[in-house]
Amino acid sequence: MDELDALARASGIEPVGRMVQRRPAVDPATLIGSGKVADVIEAATQSKAELVVTLNALRPRQRTNLEKALGDVIAITDRTVVILDIFAQHARTNEGKLQVELAQLRHRAANLIGARDSLSRLGGGVGTRGPGESKLETDRRKIRLRISHLEGQLKEVSLRRREQRRSREGTPVIALVGYTNAGKSSLLNALTSGRDAFVADQPFATLDPTLRKLRFDDGDEVVLADTVGFISDLPKELLNAFRATLEEVTSATLLLHVIDASNPFWERQRESVEAILEQLGAGERPTVVVWNKTDIAEAVHPHEGIAVSAKTGKGLRELKAALAREIARK
């Protein structure tokens, strides 16, 4: 729920309250049951909320029923749409925008029900406006055509990336991976003394891959590749849409798994990242683990890997030496 709060804030939503329900099974009609729906309406009305965000993914029927119950004043959306909205806001390059639009259209196609889309009423990003019921079939055709067009463009992007990787053949690539907001971009900047990678203390600040050269003390050079942050239960539309970018991970010589040592849920975050790497076919890639944000961590867990702080520079020399040793073995 804390993570959902952070995601909401990153998308421009100001949370005013939260509600948790335990029940033996999800209600197929409303997700939470009619009694809890009444509680949500009361709480939202009292706090003058304009939007309700569910942690669980909403099915089309559940979304429709909740929209009817909440009326025209209070909108409803779920975590997946919030993540898609953050991606739409943070995409800076043409490739990033293509990938975000493709993810949004795939999600919309899977949930096309003729209902309004909550975030479109709050200024949501590309492709979030819901279709009217009378034009569902037309919109389905348009969405299929647009998806096909975007997939073609992203295939070209993927081919260009492969050509670029061929031109870098002989130069090892280290891909930074980790949970969103673990500090990958800050670490990239700290290692290369650069300020080009965008940094913000919020989820998904980086969508587009940043490539930077790193020179070791012996004069050897590697390419560092910053990648989009991972998150637990990552919507499959996002994973599929960002495969072109994530090829930097699957083709890397070495992975640098950045863990936020200050996050009390680092174990769950680590497991989520490792599960996604398995999905991408990169689970067996050689990996160096680095514990970042040790300057604000209550406890550090360096039984494996290296403890660093991208902010203060602590441990960076040791990290560079460890990376140089690993690359020398390849």
- What CATH number does residue 64 fall under? 3.40.50.11060
Same domain, 86 and 176: no
Helices (H), the chain: 2-10, 34-46, 60-70, 79-90, 94-110, 136-167, 184-192, 236-241, 243-250, 266-280, 316-329
Query: Do 126 and 118 touch, CB atoms closer than 8 A?
Result: no
Of the pLDDT bands very low, low, confident and very high (cuts 50, 70, 90), residue 177 is: very high
Q: How confident is the model at residue 203 (pLDDT cuts 50, 70, 90)?
A: low
Question: If 0-12 CB within 10 Å is exposed, 13-18 middle and 19+ buried, where does residue 212 land?
Answer: middle
Whole-angstrom distance, CA of residue 2 vs CA of residue 29 = 26
Q: Where does the pLDDT of residue 114 fall: very low under 50, low under 70, confident under 90, or very high at 90 and above?
A: very low
Are 82 and 53 a contacting pair, CB within 8 Å? yes
Give percent above pLDDT 70 in the chain: 86
* 143 within domain boundaries: no
How many whole angstroms separate alpha carbon 64 and alpha carbon 119? Answer: 15
Predicted confidence (pLDDT) per residue in 275-303, tens digit: 999 988 999 999 999 999 999 998 777 67
Mean pLDDT on 95-101: 84
The domain tally of the chain equals 2
Whether 126 shows a pLDDT value over 60: the answer reads no
188 assigned to some structural domain? yes
Task: Note the pLDDT of residue 303.
Answer: 74
Q: Average the pLDDT over 151-159 and give the result.
A: 87
Q: How many CA atoms lie within 13 A of 43 on its CB side?
A: 14
Residue 320 belongs to domain with CATH number: 3.40.50.300
SS3 assignment, position 207:
coil
Confidence band, pLDDT 50/70/90 cuts, at residue 165: confident
Specify if 105 maps to a domain.
Answer: no
pLDDT at position 210 over 90: no
Residue 119: what pLDDT? 42
Q: Please report the pLDDT score of residue 110 as a whole number.
A: 80
Whether residue 192 is predicted with pLDDT greater than 70 in this model: the reply is: yes
Answer yes or no: is 264 within a domain.
yes
Is the model more confident about 246 or about 31? 31
Q: Which of 98, 168, 53, 318 is CA-nearest to residue 326? A: 318
Residue 133 lies in a domain: no
> Residue range 56-82: average pLDDT?
92
pTM of the model: 0.81
Q: Considering the domain boundaries, does residue 176 fall inside one?
A: yes
Q: Tell me, yes or no, whether 80 and 229 share the same domain.
A: no
Tens digits of per-residue pLDDT, 129-146? Answer: 344 444 566 677 888 899
Structure confidence at residue 4 (pLDDT) = 94
pLDDT per residue as tens digits for the range 232-270: 887 777 777 777 668 788 889 999 999 999 999 999 999
Which domain-ending residue is among 122, 143, 163? 122
Residue 107 maps to a domain: no
Is 158 inside any structural domain? no
Q: Is the pLDDT of residue 122 over 60?
A: no
Which domain covers residue 59, as residue numbers? Answer: 2-93+116-122
Q: What is the mean pLDDT of residues 88-96?
A: 81
Q: Exposed, middle or buried, 185 (CB in 10 Å: 0-12/13-18/19+)?
A: buried
pLDDT on residue 194: 63
Does 185 share its domain with 310?
A: yes
What's the average model confidence in pLDDT over 42-64? 94
Report whether pLDDT(55) > 50.
yes
